Amino acid sequence: MKYASFNKVALGAVALIFSLAAHSGGGGGGDEELPLPDSCQSNCGYETGPTPNLDFLQAGSGPLSISSAIVASSVDGFGGGTIYYPSNVSQELAAISIAPGFTNTQSAIQWWGPLLASHGFVVITIDTNSRYDQPESRSRQQDSALSYLIEEAASSGSPIWGLIDENRLATMGYSMGGGGALHSASRNRLSASIPLSPWNTGSNDFDNIAVPVMIMACENDSTAPVNTHASPFYNTIPDNTHKAFMEITGGSHSCATGDNSNNALLSTYGVSWMKRFLDKDHRYSPFLCGPNHESNSYISDYRDTCDYL
């Protein structure tokens, strides 16, 4: 199921809907702090998989087989979800939580879960406590989902027992979930973040972000227009932070959710960003800093702060 677009009238009613949802149990996650990210930047021993090439990155999946586990909606801090993880892997892996947008369920962003897991990450795609939760609430729920993964990895009865490196964490999110991913990054307890068509209004601390962030935007997004959402968010992030901005040619609001004609592009950049900054794997830097990105007809605008040394 894809994201159902909502019009300007619906956006104008968001505050009222959120107020009603909060009174009906649709609030945010817990306020516990995530562990601090590790300080290692290279030769950290986190690398997995073969030396990448473009065909490898554009493929529909990575080199690892994966399994999945359902997280019940009764869990504390978020609305349940699905964990995707590599099968038959013994080393600790980085973890990623992914949140959907306004009125969505996890199905809107589920394509990313198996893809990233097949490249060596533990990924949870979440449902939110209420489908009307705002970006800040979604960010707390993303953090709660990461805390849940850490707790599960410490339990001998869990399918992901021993799989999580709690000092290598990331958030992703679509639309209001993308706004949530940025709010999580502004708290600086992550190693990477990828907001997809991010939507956020009101005050924020995005000028405090020190986490490597890649924003994926959609050129013809009428729900979160690039010039009032993704672009100013990118510009607000300090220039001394590793960051990138990719605008997908002709894309509507859902262009970066996956399972569409942009799959090869999304896989190339999404996997490369997470491998470079979660696994500290510099073999992926040439795909981020090397090419003339706008020579790709699928990319209408690209900005970055390369090199990512």
Which amino acid makes up residue 56?
A: F
Q: 229, 253, 254, 279: which one is catalytic?
A: 253
> Which is catalytic among the residues 130, 137, 175, 267?
175
Q: For the chain, list the domains and their CATH numbers.
A: 51-304 (3.40.50.1820)
User: What integer is the mean pLDDT of 202-221?
Assistant: 98
56-81 per-position pLDDT tens digit: 999 989 999 999 999 999 999 999 99
Q: What is the pLDDT of residues 2-53, one digit of tens each?
A: 333 333 334 334 433 333 333 333 444 445 699 999 999 999 999 999 999 9
Share of residues in the chain with pLDDT > 70 (%): 90
- Tell me the per-residue pLDDT of 274-288, one tens digit each, with 9 for 90 and over: 999 999 999 999 999
Q: How far apart (Å, rounded) are the C-alpha atoms in residues 111 and 116? A: 9
Alpha carbon distance 197, 284 (integer Å): 23
Reported as a single tens digit per residue, the pLDDT across 89-140 is 989 999 999 999 999 999 999 999 999 999 999 999 999 999 999 999 999 9
Question: Which of 166, 171, 268 shows the shortest CA–CA distance to 211?
Answer: 171
Picking from 3-12, 101-110, 237-246, 296-305, which range would have the lowest pLDDT averaged per residue? 3-12
Q: Are 46 and 279 in contact (CB under 8 A)?
A: yes
CA–CA distance, 180 with 186 (Å, rounded to integer): 10
> Which residues of 197-279 form beta strands (DSSP E)?
213-218, 243-248
Active site residue 221: yes
Nearest by Cα to 217 from 204, 235, 229, 203: 229
Selecting among 133, 221, 279, 281, the annotated active-site residue is: 221
Q: Identify the CA nearest to 295 among candidates 249, 254, 264.
A: 249
What's the mean pLDDT when you consider all of the chain? Answer: 91
What whole-number distance in Å separates Cα of residue 127 and Cα of residue 108?
A: 10
Would residue 183 show up in a list of annotated catalytic residues for this protein? no
Active site residue 293: no
| Cβ pair 51, 71 in contact under 8 A | no
